[in-house]
């Protein structure tokens, strides 16, 4: 991280797009310091296991995530998660559970999410950078 401020959390969709060689996205994140979450690491691990070339995919992911910070659950994260879940449910707009955790961690860290998933836009107080 080199003491540089973290600019965003890169969602699983962004990491996999980088693995697939998305050149515009690579330019967008070039020189930027970003973090991931424990949920994103778990989703990436699932992707590796499902891949036809798990060793190659794991190597690509490792290169992309080298020296990246990983956010974990704090004592405050579950309350943020619960509020997001209940608000989304009341509005009939639930999103995947993993993405609610990712959003809760991003809100807690006061960071935007770099993602391709439009459903993140349903979450109040969350900035989404589309990729």
Whole-number Å distance between alpha carbons of 126 and 110: 8
Q: Is the pLDDT of residue 3 over 80?
A: no
Predicted pLDDT of residue 2: 59
Mean pLDDT of 111-130: 94
* Rounded average pLDDT over 113-120: 94
Interatomic CA distance for residues 47 and 126, integer angstroms: 26
SS3 117: coil
Contact 100, 81 (CB under 8 A): yes
Q: What are phi and psi of 74, to 5 degrees?
A: -105, 175
pLDDT higher than threshold 90 for residue 22: no
Q: How confident is the model at residue 37 (pLDDT cuts 50, 70, 90)?
A: very high
> Is the pTM of the predicted complex or chain greater than 0.85?
yes
Is pLDDT of 4 > 90? no
Q: What pLDDT was estimated at residue 79?
A: 98
Q: Report the topology of domain 8-130.
A: Rossmann fold (3.40.50)
Within the chain, residue ranges assigned H as helices are 12-19, 23-29, 38-50, 54-65, 77-90, 97-109
- 3-state SS assignment for residue 123: coil
Please give the distance of CA 116 from its chain centroid, rounded to a whole number. 10
Determine which of 1-10, 49-58, 82-91 has the lowest per-residue pLDDT on average: 1-10
């Amino acid at each position: 991280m080199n003491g540089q401020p973290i600019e965003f959390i890169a969602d699983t969709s962004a990491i996999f797009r980088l693995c697939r060689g998305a050149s515009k996205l690579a330019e967008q994140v070039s020189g930027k310091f970003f973090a991931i979450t424990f949920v994103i690491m778990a989703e990436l691990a699932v992707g590796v296991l499902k891949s036809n070339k798990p060793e190659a995919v794991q190597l690509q992911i490792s290169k992309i995530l080298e020296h990246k910070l990983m956010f974990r659950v704090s004592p405050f994260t579950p309350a943020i998660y619960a509020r997001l879940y209940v608000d989304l449910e009341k509005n009939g707009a639930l999103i995947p559970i993993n993405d609610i955790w990712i959003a809760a961690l991003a809100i807690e860290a006061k960071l935007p999410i770099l993602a391709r998933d439009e459903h993140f836009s349903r979450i109040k107080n969350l900035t989404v950078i589309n990729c």
